[in-house]
Amino acid sequence: MAFRFFRRIRLAPGITLNLSRSGASVSLGPRGARLTLGGRTGARLTFGLPGTGLSYTTTLGTGTTGRRGRPSRRRASASREDSLTPSFWDALTVPPEEQALLEACKALGRGDETAALEALGRAGSIPDAAYLEGFLLLKHERPAEAEEAFRRALRRPEQIGAWCARHGIKPVFSLPITEELSAIVEPSAHGVLLGLVEALQEQGKHQEALQVLTRLQGERPTDPVVALSLVELLWDMDPGDEQHLERILTLTEEVANETPVHACLLLYRARALRAKGLPRLAARILTRALARRKDRPPELLKALRYERALAFEEADLPARARADLEALYAEDPRYEDVARRLGLEP
């Protein structure tokens, strides 16, 4: 797949929605999570970096496009609000459960998440409804209910995304993968499994989350987002566990410094090397990760530099460690414990 970078304006917390037959944009979710509905523009897999406005995206598919040139008078004059009028939705003759799902979309358009969840509950047998319900429940910090919704969607994995595709809606949700990165996932079994991992982690069910991620990694061994999710979970579960460290090193072998996702994988590789008593090797990995700064979010660059400072300290290279710490202090005096390490705290 071809990847591209683009800048996105960071939206306020909560949910906003523009929904039409030609395209849509929704933003919702926990800790910067985003749902994007794209009609004619197609679904997108995006890696967003919370607080930076930077996203990393690949096109997952495109819808039917019209002829190039001047747009029709009808399309040019139609407002986003017009696309949510009853005349549009009522024109669709659908069974009760599908009507409930359409009602949920309208409720999201009004910003009424309570009504959306109620409507989704009436459309629960449709996998796409369970998909949407699961992520909304995550947003409302109800992970146990979100887990149930995701498991319901996975009862018919081959139908996930079918309803949305039939009605020209392409939804994608964003999930935090690490403190530095979040990943937007499309309506698919893969996307639902990532949502399930989040729900399990929120409940402290780390072993179950690990099993799901291991399954995903086996199905998608070259997917950097899955690898990063798995590496982050292994580190958080027990950064001193020897088997976890070996697995992290295996998952991060031969990682090229191509994107912020790959740079984050290098960060965890360096942490694992430090934990195994190899700070000089860790510092070399971090120097390689820091060599590419364009399109790297500031928070990720600071995390890489701070980790390298720690590696230099452990490698008995105090001058190099201090240089990194001073650079961090100049950029952000309150970052981690930089001031204390520089002896600048009272």
Segment 62-76 shows an average pLDDT of: 39
Query: Chain-wide mean pLDDT for the chain?
Result: 75
Top mean pLDDT of 71-75, 79-83, 329-333 is at 329-333
**Residue 244: pLDDT over 60:** yes
Is the pTM here over 0.85, yes or no? no
What does the pLDDT read at residue 139? 82
Is CATH 2.60.40.10 the right assignment for the domain spanning 204-341? no
The answer, yes or no, to whether residue 50 has pLDDT greater than 60, is no
pLDDT at res. 13: 29
Spatial distance between the Cα atoms of 41 and 65, rounded to a whole number of angstroms: 8
In terms of phi and psi (left: phi > 0; alpha: psi -120 to 50; beta: otherwise), the region of 32 is: left
Place of tokens 């690898």: 227
The angle subtended at Cα 343 by Cα 337 and Cα 346, nearest 5°, is 90
Cα(308)–Cα(203) distance, integer angstroms: 33
Neighbours of 334 (CB within 10 A): 8
* Beta-strand pair 43-49/54-61: antiparallel
SS3 245: helix
Q: What is the C-alpha to C-alpha distance for residues 231 and 263, in angstroms, rounded to an integer?
A: 13
One DSSP character per residue, 13-34 reads SS-EEEE-SS-EEEE--GGG--
Closest C-alpha among 53, 44, 2, 32 to residue 172:
44
Which residues, in sequence order, are bridge partners of residue 56?
5, 47
Strands 24-27 and 54-61: unpaired
Residues whose CB falls within 8 Å of the CB of residue 122, separated by 6 or more in sequence, listed in order: 96, 97, 100
State how far the Cα of 65 lies from the Cα of 7, in Å rounded to an integer.
24
- pLDDT tens per residue, range 254-296: 999 988 889 999 999 999 999 999 999 999 999 999 999 988 8
Residues 6+ apart with CB under 8 A from 51: 10, 32, 297, 299
Question: Partners of 7 in the beta sheet?
Answer: 54
Query: 46 falls in which pLDDT band (50, 70, 90)?
Result: very low
What pLDDT digit, counting tens, does each position of 198-224 carry?
899 999 999 999 999 999 899 888 888
Q: What is the mean pLDDT of residues 139-166?
A: 91
Distance CA 183, CA 115 (A): 27
- One-letter identity of residue 187: P
Other beta carbons less than 10 A from residue 91's beta carbon: 7
SS3 44: strand
Instruction: Give the model's pLDDT for residue 180.
Output: 64
**Token pair for residue 4?**
């591209």
Q: What percent of the chain has pLDDT over 90?
A: 45
CA dihedral 39, 43, 47, 51 (to 10 degrees): 10
pLDDT at position 340, please? Answer: 96
Phi, psi of 185, rounded to the nearest 5 degrees = -125, 150
What the block records as the tokens of 136 is 């909304």
Q: What is the pLDDT of residues 123-136, one digit of tens each?
A: 978 999 999 899 88
User: How much is the pLDDT for 124?
Assistant: 74
List the Cα angle 130/132/133 in 5-degree steps: 60
- Give residue limits of the domains in the chain: 3-198, 204-341
pLDDT score of 64? 38
CA–CA distances in Å: residue 223 to residues 240, 255, 290: 26, 12, 22
pLDDT at 57: 36
